[in-house]
Amino acid sequence: MTDQNPDLHRDPHNDARNSQAAREARSIVKFMIEHTAYGGFGALVFGALVLYFDIGGIYSLATSSRDAPIFIFLLFFGLFVTFGSISLGIGIMTLGGFSDDDRYRDERTRNRNSDDRK
């Protein structure tokens, strides 16, 4: 009995899902999710502290309303968006930190030839 499914005999090294570009894309997505999760955790901690200490009477105001669950959801959603985007932005901006090293030589100086220095 022969298999008619060509996917079973496909070489895993030539598979598009295992290509260099696919691995880099997965690492970028993982990086973004990880940093957004850090911001989300910070938002949860900050929101819980604001409600626990009743800063500005916000917890009292929320619990006296009949729409308290919506208010709490909107508070934490706004905090998650804010803190998550700040954390992601900081993560992205610190990616280029290796180029500030004095020992780093970029591609232009390595590939420069004597004809370019006129």
- The pLDDT tens digits of the residues spanning 15-66 come to 777 888 888 888 999 999 999 999 999 999 999 999 999 999 999 999 999 9
- Average pLDDT, integer, range 75-92: 96
- The per-residue pLDDT for 107 is 55
- The per-residue pLDDT for 81 is 97
- Give the total number of structural domains in the chain: 1
Please tell me whether residue 39 adopts helix, strand or coil conformation.
Answer: helix
3 within some domain: no
- Average pLDDT, integer, range 92-117: 62
Q: Count CA atoms within 13 Å of residue 64 on its CB side.
A: 6
Q: State the pTM of this model.
A: 0.68
106 by Cβ neighbours in 10 Å (0-12 / 13-18 / 19+) ranks as exposed
71 within some domain: yes
78 within some domain: yes
Q: Which domain holds residue 52?
A: 19-95
Three-point CA angle 64, 67, 71, nearest 5°: 95
